[in-house]
Structure 1
Amino acid sequence: MIEVNGAGRRWSIGELARATGLTVRTLHHYDEIGLLSAGERTAAGHRRYTGADLRRLYRVRALRALGLSLEEIADALAEPAHMRDLLDAQLRELDAHAARIAELREQIHGLLGRLHAAPEPDPEDLMTTLEMMSMLENHFTAEQRSRLAARRDEMGPEAVEAARTRWVELVEELLPHVANGTPVDDPRVGELVERWDAVGAAFHGGEDTKVAARRMWSGNSGELSRALPWTAEQLTGLVAYVNQVRDAR
């Protein structure tokens, strides 16, 4: 760091670059965009930076270290009153980024847990899991994904597996009704759909996540069904039938 200890001291652009660790090209760019211009010029036209220029450069570097863009830095230096708003916005972005990193860590931990639990991890299973993660990104908000994860944690592995088993049993019981054309107002199918909805409610914990899950299925039934023992056509028909039963009730 250059010590600014005298009003008469001047620095060439090369001296400034060497002392601050910046490149001459960067200092030229700062000059071109009006962020930092040399306060003086020699008779030959060479830049000479003053103590005031150095103080401005240190402020630029400090704000750059906080992640502000050059445009935001110029605004902050021109209008110091804007500094609080800029820093508030930057903090919100950093908080969102930190939350995203934490979420990714949880996803990767979960993925690694499944891989470690398998005696011989199947690359196809890995790709299916990654596809599922991508679908969740596209159809659920970060807050919804967080609630779903929290709900699974509350239930615990045994309860989650038991709910999945109940759902599989319900699929197997409902598919024959779909194939045979059982009327949607039949009390038998009404009771099965009630149980279906109860299982879903245990996982979703909210109407908005339930709607998002149905939207995800509607747009990705083919991909989702690949990991299940039924065809996409069977499951698409089943979901449509379940919706008809709900409407009939």
Structure 2
Amino acid sequence: MRALYHYDEIGLLVASERTVAGHRRYTERDLRRLYRVRALRGLGLSLEEVAAVLAGAADDPESLRDLLAEQLRRLDQHAERIGVLRQRIGDLLRQTGDPYGPDPDRLMATLEVMSVFETYFTEEQRGRLTERRDALGPEGVEAARREWAGLVEEGLRHLAGGIPADDPRARDLVRRWDALAGRFHPEGPAGAETAAAARRMWRDNSAEIGANLPWPAERMSGLVAYLEQARRAG
């Protein structure tokens, strides 16, 4: 009933007749229009779009076709976002160990990192990164994780040993670091953009990201700065 009142208020479905007491009386024609409103709403169209369809569908079927095509495109985008969310939540549950009772602190820390990730990468870039990760497969991702852990340990040893950032060993480390990261980035200019975004994310949020890693956050922050110096050194 509330919907009928609202449709009447906005002029989408106005009762054709009134009783002596002033109550609305809907005719068979009104009911057919109501069914069309409900059908179009069921397709996800807004009230404004429904009104446009009902006002012009009889004279301009091509407009209805274009509107439905646009709605299908929006639904495809929404379905893609749902798929990404499903994967993220599944990954999150696996990362937290027990899907029936993940540790709240670890759960929130991971969510914070996800939020940071979305801040630095556009939706298109996130999609490309997901495609690259899927192409590597679980075994490739795990191998890269082990290799990256080894590079972290090597970099921390460089820092502890006082090896300068312009030392050939430091430049070789950053070369291998960037090559490993490159496996997860698309080729060409798009890959250079996502790689640059990843470095900015590391630089600006090393403490937050480091909180989820097995190394002290302050040491990881120092390593990120060290790698950036080695990268600039050549």
Task: Please classify the TM superposition score into its range, dividing by the shorter chain length.
Answer: 0.7 to 0.9
Looking at structure 2, the residues matched to 123 and 29 of structure 1 have their Cα atoms a distance apart, in angstroms, of 43
- Please give the per-residue CA displacement for 1:148-189, whole angstroms capped at 9, x wherever unaligned: 333333334443333223323323333344456544332222
Match in the other structure for 2:68: 87
Corresponding residue SS for 2:173: helix
Find the partner of 2:25 among 25, 31, 48: 48
Task: Label 1:50 to 1:158 Cα distance change in 2 as closer, same or farther (>3 A).
Answer: closer
Give the structure-1-normalised TM-score: 0.75
**Residue 73 (structure 1) aligned to one of 44, 47, 50:** 50
Give the structure 1 partner of residue 87 of structure 2: 106
Please say which structure displays the higher CA radius of gyration: 1
Q: Say whether the 8 Å CA contact 2:203–2:225 is kept in structure 1.
A: no
Please give the alpha-carbon distance, in whole angstroms, between the structure 1 residues aligned to 2:133 and 2:203: 23
Aligned pair count reads: 225
What do the CA deviations read for 1:107-142 (whole angstroms, capped 9, x no partner)?
A: 223333445679x96444333333333333333334
* Percent sequence identity over aligned pairs: 60
Q: Unaligned 5+ residue runs, structure 2?
A: none
Please give the secondary structure, in 2, of the residue aligned with 1:36.
coil
Q: Does 1:223 align with 2:204?
A: no
Within 5 Å, give how 1:132-151 maps onto structure 2: 132-151=113-132
Structure 2 counterparts to residues 11-30 of structure 1, below 5 A: 23=1, 25-30=2-7
Of 193, 213, 229, which residue of structure 2 is paired with 1:208? 193
What is the CA distance between 1:38 and its match in structure 2?
A: 1.7
Q: More relative contact order in 1 or in 2 (CA 8 Å, sep 6+)?
A: 2
Relative to the length of structure 2, the TM-score reads: 0.80
Q: Report the Cα distance in structure 1 between the residues aligned to 2:138 and 2:98, rounded to whole angstroms.
A: 14
Q: How far off is 1:55 after superposition?
A: 2.2
For residue 13 of structure 2, give the secondary structure of its aligned residue in structure 1: coil
Give yes or no for the alignment of 1:166 onto 2:166: no
What RMSD over aligned residues (CA atoms) do the two structures have, in Å?
2.8
- Do 2:93 and 2:102's aligned partners in 1 also have CA atoms closer than 8 Å? no
Q: Which runs of 5+ in 1 are unaligned?
A: 1-22
Equivalent residue letter for 1:235: M
Instruction: Give the residue type in structure 2 aligned to 1:99.
Output: E
SS at match of 2:184: helix
Amino acid at match of 1:217: W
8 Å Cα contact 2:15-2:26 kept in structure 1? yes
Structure 1 residues 76 and 238, CA gap change in structure 2 (3 angstroms):
same
2: distance between equivalents of 1:199 and 1:83? 50
